Amino acid sequence: MKKIGIIGAGQLGQMLGFAARDVSIECMFLDPSEDPPAAAAGPVIRAEFDDQAALQKLAQACDVISYEFENVSVDCLRAIESICPVVPSPHALENAQDRLAEKRLFDSLQIPVAQYGKVDDSDDLKKCADVLGLPLVVKTRRFGYDGKGQAILRQIADADAVFESLGGAPLIAETMVPFQFEVSAIGARTDDGEIASYALTKNEHIDGILRVSRAPLDNPHLERLGVEYLTRLLERLDYVGVLALEMFVVGDKLLANEFAPRVHNSGHWTIEGCAGSQFENHLRAVAGMPLASTATKGYPGMVNIIGSLPSDGASISGTGSQTHIYGKQPRPGRKLGHITIIGETAEARDRRIHDIKLTL
């Protein structure tokens, strides 16, 4: 049986570990937390993510190493590559970790993006405001997630304060995109170059955190464009595994925002909504197995459970829905679980989502 070592043991690790059982793969995790979610799905080496000795131990015990979050040290991954392969490659991760490198990569692939500028000090920020106009979305180049490490510059007089508020870190400033909605294109690629992509997913955020996803989009033009951009990215990176590309929809255009070299919250509906979930296909690609079908069953939707658990999870999860609870301690803004609905029609799904949102 193939053994995959996964750095990080949060809910994504847990869902990878559960999916592994269906494809006769064993997962082992590395995470510093006490009793992390993935402990329910496999053994966990308890160590810091940059603990070289622990990473070596994981690499020695496994056939291949993968990861479930982006802030793994690329140097640490390169150091264990001599023991066993790291998939997706540290090169792909390096591009995803730095928002400037990421935007330049999109540019080089002729994937449209918001206009942007590199910001190393508050003078750079003022120059960006001059050249690109206001408002600007200002983001730390590294370590941002769920809208953290971001600020909006609305008037040039606030440039110093906005720069300081982000801790003096290297930044990127982007024009604020007047998008209609946000989507993600999720797909898997194998070492042989086989690509399978999921239906384009429409995403709704609250305070920078994903709240609801729905698929498919039922817009053939955007579906085609999304798969086209995703394919360009997967091929350029010679990528292996699942990748999620987040984009803004503006009219009939897609503007790429960022990509995650891993399974993604907006793809959780694929567990019930596809024969092969994003978790199964990530494992298949990483383990060198052919991919499973990504065709959509019915009209799936997903609602995140954020901050506190519903008092009666069982009653929320009625017919045609499935509640997943990750086993994390409740905390404001924390993703604690999600509910998947498979509707027979888009309208039926949306009614269920509406009701679920009222009870959460």
Ligand X SMILES: Nc1ncnc2c1ncn2[C@@H]1O[C@H](COP(=O)(O)OP(=O)(O)O)[C@@H](O)[C@H]1O
Q: Which is nearer to ligand X, 181 or 318 (CB)?
A: 181
Only one of the segments 106-114, 240-248, 275-283, 291-299 lies at the binding site for Mg ion (rule: CB under 5 A); that segment is 240-248
Q: For residues 3 and 205, which CB has a smaller minimum distance to Mg ion in the complex? A: 205
CB of 177 vs Mg ion, minimal distance in Å: 13
Q: Which of Mg ion, ligand X, none is residue 272 near (CB under 5 to 8 Å by kind)?
A: none
Q: Does 333 bind ligand X (CB under 6 A)?
A: no
- Which amino acid is residue 279, in one-letter code? F
> Is residue 177 within the footprint of ligand X (CB under 6 A)?
yes
User: Residue 205, interface with ligand X (CB under 6 A)?
Assistant: yes
DSSP state of 35: S
Does residue 178 have a cis peptide bond before it, meaning omega lies within 30 degrees of 0?
no
User: Binder to ligand X among 6, 58, 114, 287 (CB under 6 A)?
Assistant: 114
One DSSP character per residue, 259-287 reads EESS--GGGTTHHHHBSS-HHHHHHHHHH
The Cα 184–Cα 226 span in angstroms is 8
CB of 113 to ligand X, least distance (A): 9
Q: Which is nearer to Mg ion, 102 or 246 (CB)?
A: 246
Cβ 51 vs Cβ 67: under 8 Å:
no
Q: How far is the CB of 348 from ligand X (least distance, A)?
A: 27
Residue with the two structure tokens 């640490």: 76
H-helix or E-strand containing 348?
helix 346-359
Residue 135 binds ligand X (CB under 6 A): no
> Binding of ligand X at residue 250 (CB under 6 A)?
no
Which residue lies nearer to Mg ion by CB, 119 or 260? 260
Q: What CA–CA distance (Å, rounded) separates 359 from 232?
A: 41
146 is a site residue for ligand X (CB under 6 A):
yes
Kindly state the number of chain residues that form the binding site for Mg ion, as judged by CB under 5 A: 1
* Partner whose footprint covers residue 280, from Mg ion, ligand X, none (CB < 5 to 8 Å by kind): none
Residue 323 CA to residue 337 CA, distance in Å, equals 7
Secondary structure of residue 28 in the 3-state scheme: strand
CB of 346 to ligand X, least distance (A): 22
36 upstream amide cis, omega within 30 of 0: no
Question: Would you tell me which residues interact with Mg ion (CB under 5 A)?
Answer: 246
Question: Would you tell me which residues interact with ligand X (CB under 6 A)?
Answer: 114, 137, 144-147, 174, 176-177, 182, 205, 208, 246, 257-258
